[in-house]
A and B are shown apart, each in its own frame.
Chain A
């Protein structure tokens, strides 16, 4: 586990998922919030699809959604190892249009939040130009 345990003053327990997501639990033990993990250095770590800024790309890892929704999304191209790019946000800011497998698919924030992604390994995919982001490549190196 490469991430340090974050501080959660108002929360009883903090859990950390293998992929870097922080799971916060309230007193009853129910997960009530999932936060993208930020390293102390300020380098952003991509962990869920909704973290992507417009123009950024990532590689899909897994879907944490009910079976029927997951199956539907997978048939629309949301399969592990697929390259996803956040294309644009709707005028109101919420559904975001993602480019996957040449198709444009709109998802709301809460759906995108349940889709785990990882940063693109440098050099492996040159398809999305903006992903040679310094932060991300640095992170990917750290991951190795």
Chain B
């Protein structure tokens, strides 16, 4: 059904890939045309796919292993409507395509992906892309959907019109993809595509006229529009049900993460603890065993325990993103965002930031106004990212009683958790309002948002997403957390004491190096209700929030008083309810993530923003924790 329609297409696919002629291939297409799904197909790489415009906010590279061409690099670009840059992500795409992006190789061939369901409009991009002059293969994506709904196009005629081979594909089902290697093998032998008489460019109206003519001449018949999406929107964008359902979804997600995730995490923790005990006899007793098991393993496993819950949260956010609901959320939120001086588009990165601030900050590139974008970047770390989850979970499980209301639908723990999420959200909104009414004031930019059709999230894409997240989490545990816990263990066991009997022993935890450092900073954090161990935890958590939990695991593991207890009970040992709540609020507001700061530095091109962000959030976190601790103390 799919075919490649110019002479080189008839070469056998087994033709040996000529070396050197072709190196870099670039994927171009309008937003939501399925480029990222195709990228995953062609490379077999993990790449975030979501059903809202502007998911690919940075060019991504991968080797084309999916079609047996590991020698070729494929670059996936952010979706663009035209080659006139409108926002930052479009500028990236255009620079890469023209070979003007420093650090990115100049592309040798182009795969132009168009959504065949809206071909007339999508062809408007074909003219400027073909005019760049690189060998181009036009891929009409989602052709299965088009044909099943009565759409039609003559690919042969279209290829003649465009002067470039055209193939019908379905990236989701992986059909028609053999056209890609056919095209690439063919291209290597050809000199360069001869330039074709294309319309005079620069004017959107003339490009549109040309696109309309081409689609008419090629017998393009648009498929019947689907009523399904509109019917769903009748409910999801309903005046009353829409916002209510939105709240219901958000509350439901966290309730499920808590009620289903907790037993999963407990089970996983049980397994991890047993792995440690299983390994114990195999290690020589002494300092090495203590370093590896009581230091490193205890620290790492105290964080790893939360993997099931984090994956569950990512699964839900993944479903929301892939289905196309996020764009609707932006539409619902536009009114609220407008009162604080931003627009609904800023809401999409903020929602993604519930998973992680780093992709969210990169997703702000879709915001056209630079000042709006800076304000959004500034407030993104306030959103409760998954790295805070371990800290919250640990403290809530340790200090908040498990009381259930509403026949089990809502628990007190969920309420506390939601309040923390709300605190972060309110912090973000208030800060954005302050910024937009002072240093980042600007005139309003128009809010233009495409609402994609709802799609069923594919298992494949969700699985890839979870695997990606799990590997990031494990890598973090294997590098940053491992190093921090080992260093902490060493610091907790120095200086060694020379015993009378001639042997060496570790000092009391309080008189170890880490204990002395902790006691040194204790006066600064004592008003918040934190002891010196928490202080060490806070220092280490500047690297990444979840390090806090592993630090606690290592420190309490090194202390003979609490060694035998699990972390929750150990925390009860020297922390009050006020201190625990203050600690949670501190985590809700503080900027404790060096990776986020590095991304902010890169996106804003100066250290000023991350520095300001860090200090502002620290001041806010400190004062909020102070207030909470004192209120709880006064009440009890």
A residues apposed to B, CB below 8 Å:
65, 68-77, 79-80, 87-88, 90-95, 97, 101-108, 110-111
Q: How far is the CB of A87 from chain B (nearest CB, A)?
A: 7
Q: How far is the CB of B301 from chain A (nearest CB, A)?
A: 45
Q: Which of A74, A91, A95 has the most CB of B within 10 A?
A: A91
Contact of A95 among B117, B204, B222, B331 (CB under 8 A): B331
Q: Are B204 and A79 in contact (CB under 8 A)?
A: yes
Q: Are A110 and B121 in contact (CB under 8 A)?
A: no
Residues on B with beta carbons closer than 8 Å to the beta carbon of A110? 444, 446
Residues on B with beta carbons closer than 8 Å to the beta carbon of A111? 446-448
Q: Does B238 contact A (CB under 8 A)?
A: yes
Supply 8 A–B pairs (Cβ within 8 Å), ascending by A: A71-B204, A74-B208, A75-B204, A88-B233, A92-B332, A101-B118, A105-B448, A106-B448
Q: Does B527 contact A (CB under 8 A)?
A: no
Q: Are B331 and A90 in contact (CB under 8 A)?
A: yes
Q: Does B344 contact A (CB under 8 A)?
A: yes
Residues on A with beta carbons closer than 8 Å to the beta carbon of B447? 95, 106-108, 111
Residues on B with beta carbons closer than 8 Å to the beta carbon of A102? 117-118, 121, 222, 225
Residues on A with beta carbons closer than 8 Å to the beta carbon of B444? 110
Q: How far is the CB of B361 from chain A (nearest CB, A)?
A: 23
- B442-484 to A contact mask, C-beta < 8 Å, 1/0: 0011111111000000000000000000000000000000000
Residues on B with beta carbons closer than 8 Å to the beta carbon of A95? 331, 334-335, 344, 447, 449
Q: Are A101 and B332 in contact (CB under 8 A)?
A: no
Residues on A with beta carbons closer than 8 Å to the beta carbon of B243? 91
Q: How far is the CB of A38 from chain B (nearest CB, A)?
A: 26
Given A76-B81, A91-B237, answer yes or no on A105-B118 (Cβ-Cβ < 8 Å): no
Q: Does B24 contact A (CB under 8 A)?
A: no
Q: Does B120 contact A (CB under 8 A)?
A: yes
Residues on A with beta carbons closer than 8 Å to the beta carbon of B331? 90, 95, 97, 106
Contact of A72 among B81, B125, B238, B334 (CB under 8 A): B81
A-B pair count, CB < 8 Å, reads 109
Known interface pairs A79-B205, A105-B450; 15 further A-B residue pairs with C-beta atoms within 8 A, sorted by A's residue number: A71-B84, A72-B81, A74-B204, A75-B81, A79-B208, A90-B334, A91-B240, A95-B344, A97-B451, A102-B117, A102-B121, A103-B118, A107-B448, A108-B343, A108-B446
Closest 10 interchain pairs by CB? A92-B335, A74-B204, A75-B81, A104-B451, A111-B446, A75-B82, A91-B242, A79-B208, A106-B449, A72-B86
Number of interface residues of B (CB under 8 A): 42
Residues on B with beta carbons closer than 8 Å to the beta carbon of A65? 446
Q: How far is the CB of B570 from chain A (nearest CB, A)?
A: 48
Given A74-B208, A75-B81, answer yes or no on A68-B344 (Cβ-Cβ < 8 Å): no
Q: How far is the CB of B203 from chain A (nearest CB, A)?
A: 9
How many angstroms from the CA of A112 to the CA of B301 in the assembled complex? 55
Q: How far is the CB of A68 from chain B (nearest CB, A)?
A: 6
Give B316-366 interface residues, CB cut-off 8 Å to A: 331-332, 334-336, 338, 343-344
Q: Is the interface of A mostly helix, strand, loop or mixed?
A: mixed
How many angstroms from the CA of A65 to the CA of B208 in the assembled complex? 18
- A114 (CB) vs chain B CBs: closest residue: B446
- B90 (CB) vs chain A CBs: closest residue: A72
- A104 (CB) vs chain B CBs: closest residue: B451
Q: How far is the CB of B268 from chain A (nearest CB, A)?
A: 40
Q: Are B239 and A73 in contact (CB under 8 A)?
A: no
How many angstroms from the CA of A87 to the CA of B227 in the assembled complex? 12
- A77 (CB) vs chain B CBs: closest residue: B121
Q: Does B230 contact A (CB under 8 A)?
A: yes
Q: Are B82 and A93 in contact (CB under 8 A)?
A: no
Q: Are A88 and B449 in contact (CB under 8 A)?
A: no
How many angstroms from the CA of A79 to the CA of B242 in the assembled complex? 31
Residues on A with beta carbons closer than 8 Å to the beta carbon of B86? 68, 71-72
Q: How far is the CB of B444 from chain A (nearest CB, A)?
A: 8
Q: How far is the CB of B42 from chain A (nearest CB, A)?
A: 26
How many angstroms from the CA of A68 to the CA of B118 in the assembled complex? 23
Q: Are B446 and A87 in contact (CB under 8 A)?
A: no
- B214-239 to A contact mask, C-beta < 8 Å, 1/0: 00000000100100011001100111
